[in-house]
Amino acid sequence: MVVSTGSSEREGWSSRSAFILAAVGSAVGLGNMWRFPAEAGENGGGAFVLFYIFCVLLIGLPVLLSEVLIGRHGQASAPESVRRVARDSKAPEGWSVLGSMGVFAAFLILSFYCVVGGWVVYYIGVFLSDLFQTGLSGGAFAGRPAEEIETLLPGLFGNGSLMVGLNLGFLAVTMFFVARGISSGIECVAVYLMPMFFVLFLGITIYGAFTGNFGDAVTYLFTFDFSKLTGEVMLAAVGQAFFSLSLGVAGMMTYGAYASRETNLGETSGIIAGADTAVALIAGLAIFPIVFAAGLSASAGPGLMFQSLPIAFQAMPFGSLIGLLFFTMVFFAALTSSVSLLEAPTAYVFEKFKLSRPVATVIVGVGAAVLGILSALSFNELADFRPLALIPIFSEANFFDALDGVTAKLFMPIGAILTCIFVGWVADAKLIDDENGLDGVLHQVWRALVRFVCPIVLTLILAAGLFPEWFAKAMSELQQGFAVVFG
Ligand code: PFF
């Protein structure tokens, strides 16, 4: 739909609820269902989860509002929106680099995101064929040993051409919807798939609660052990919060640009962050009971969703059907997110080079396909390639992990720090106040968070994560200092 969104006639969301569904669709994705439980399991459970919630409330939410308001004011692609806010604030227009950095990071994430999207498609196929073989009522993979089910993922990883094919297939579906534009593509996916996602999600969570080990999962996810909160765990938590909320990479700026002037951005940001966090926590509460009930390890990392869960489904009534529904649901969530990852660079390319939307989509898509192939091959042919061997925290990472690590642990926090400085200190306060939809105390709190708390805390977390030894030493000196002062 072409609606007047303020300064110009351009495509926009057809309603506020369409904007909310699309933004929630962007936020809820593989980050919630696959990355969150894996990160929580690898980083010690409760300490990670509670610090994650802290990051969402104190950092993620204020940054989310900052990003959508830049987009809404600018009514353009992310770099151009930042430039317009700078221009209207009489600040240097070079700040648009903030948007360009985000667009580039979104492009990088898109490339490996579609690789994982491809694995989801593979598992849909696996459960579908299993449903035909084993029938409806029994567990999944009847009679096959757990070790064999566990080898499904390494089997897929070992098959370079299948990995590449699935990756390209998932990317092609994403491109199809982005090329169709906002109302008949992106909005359409969100409006149909997100409600279906929520129905399936609720059903599977209730199922997990009744059949799995719910108590153990609650204890695991919400028991806070302060000693486990290292610099690396904190950086992982903040990176996860940004990844999950689609922040620091222009995604939310781009979607904000299609919002109408009537939309209250403060309220909408609260809904988006609330829904995303609820889905992440509930996903943890749905996945860990099933994993614990099957006696499997919480720290299985990225394999948690793809290896441990299928084994757990084996022991369950209607296992094949539940597996099929589960991966279908993850597919819906992943597609609504990959669409937003592609939209950010596409909007930039068609605006900057005055191309049609489909042509811009193809250009960005082909670029993402090339990088995606390298990511897909880093599980097989390129397994020994270490692109960032010189950077200590990424020295062991293959191409796929390097892209994931660099975007979540560098681009996202740095993008967020710059966004806070820009919105809190550089942009005109009146312009910001007119956009943010907050009044009274909430407004004061948000402003204090954006100006002081977020940039300072984020810089500290970034330093702690990048230089873990330095952080550990500083913490132990602090503890000794406390011991001396308080006896
Ligand atoms: N938030 C998405 C997820 O949790 O899977 C990933 C994502 C989408 C990140 C869009 C960044 C973005 F711009």
Distance of CA 269 to the CA centre of its chain: 16
- pLDDT for 149 equals 86
Instruction: Determine whether the shortest distance from the Cβ of 24 to ligand 1 is under 6 A.
Output: no
At 11, the amino acid letter reads E
336 lines ligand 1 (CB under 6 A): no
Q: State the DSSP code for 452.
A: I
Instruction: Among 52, 64, 110, 341, say which to mutate for ligand 1: greatest number of ligand atoms within 8 Å of CB.
Output: 341
- Strand pairing partners for 11? 2
The two structure tokens encoding residue 257: 């640009």
User: Using a 6 Å cutoff on CB, does residue 108 contact ligand 1?
Assistant: no
DSSP, collapsed to helix, strand or coil, labels residue 79 as helix
Cα 459 to ligand 1 centroid, rounded to whole Å = 22
Pocket flag, ligand 1, residue 167 (CB < 6 Å): no
Does 29 sit in the ligand 1 pocket, CB within 6 Å? yes
The 10 Å CB-count burial string (b at 16+, else e) for 414-429 is bbbbbbbbbbbeebee
Distance 314 CA to ligand 1 centre (A): 30
Pocket residue to mutate for ligand 1, from 113, 114, 364, 411, most atoms within 8 A of Cβ: 113
Q: Which atom of ligand 1 is nearest to the CA of 29?
A: 5
Probe residue for ligand 1, chosen from 104, 109, 330, 338 as the CB with the greatest number of ligand atoms within 8 Å: 109
Dist CA 309 CA 150 (whole Å): 10
Collapsed DSSP state (helix, strand, coil) of residue 207: helix
**H or E element: which one contains 118?**
helix 97-134
375: nearest Cα among 105, 31, 114: 114
Sign of dihedral through CA atoms 283, 285, 289, 295? positive
Quick one: CA dihedral 227, 228, 230, 235, positive or negative? negative
Say if ligand 1 is within 6 A of residue 283 CB.
no
Does the pTM surpass 0.85? The reply is: yes
How far is 454 from 431, CA to CA, in rounded Å? Answer: 20
Q: Whose CA is nearest to atom 7 of ligand 1?
A: 246
Ligand 1 within 6 A of CB of 337: yes
Measured CA to CA, the distance from residue 286 to residue 209 in angstroms comes to: 7
Q: Which of 22, 112, 101, 194 is nearest to 374 (CA)?
A: 112
- SS3 assignment, position 3: strand
What is the largest distance, in Å, between two alpha-carbon atoms of the chain? 70
249 lines ligand 1 (CB under 6 A): yes
pLDDT in tens for each of the 487 residues of the chain? 544 444 445 789 999 999 999 999 999 999 999 999 988 988 888 989 999 999 999 999 999 999 999 999 999 999 999 999 999 999 999 999 999 999 999 999 999 999 999 999 999 999 999 898 877 777 778 778 888 888 999 999 999 999 999 999 999 999 999 999 999 999 999 999 999 999 999 988 888 778 778 888 888 888 888 788 888 888 889 989 999 999 999 999 999 999 999 999 999 999 999 999 999 999 888 888 878 887 888 888 778 889 888 888 887 788 889 899 999 999 999 999 999 999 999 999 999 999 999 999 999 999 999 999 999 999 999 999 999 988 888 889 999 999 999 998 899 999 999 999 999 999 999 999 999 889 889 999 999 999 999 999 999 888 887 887 887 788 788 878 877 887 6
Query: Ligand 1: which atom is nearest the Cα of residue 340?
Result: 10
**Does an H or E element contain 10, and which?**
strand 9-11
What is the spatial distance between Cα 399 and Cα 377, in angstroms, rounded to a whole number? 9
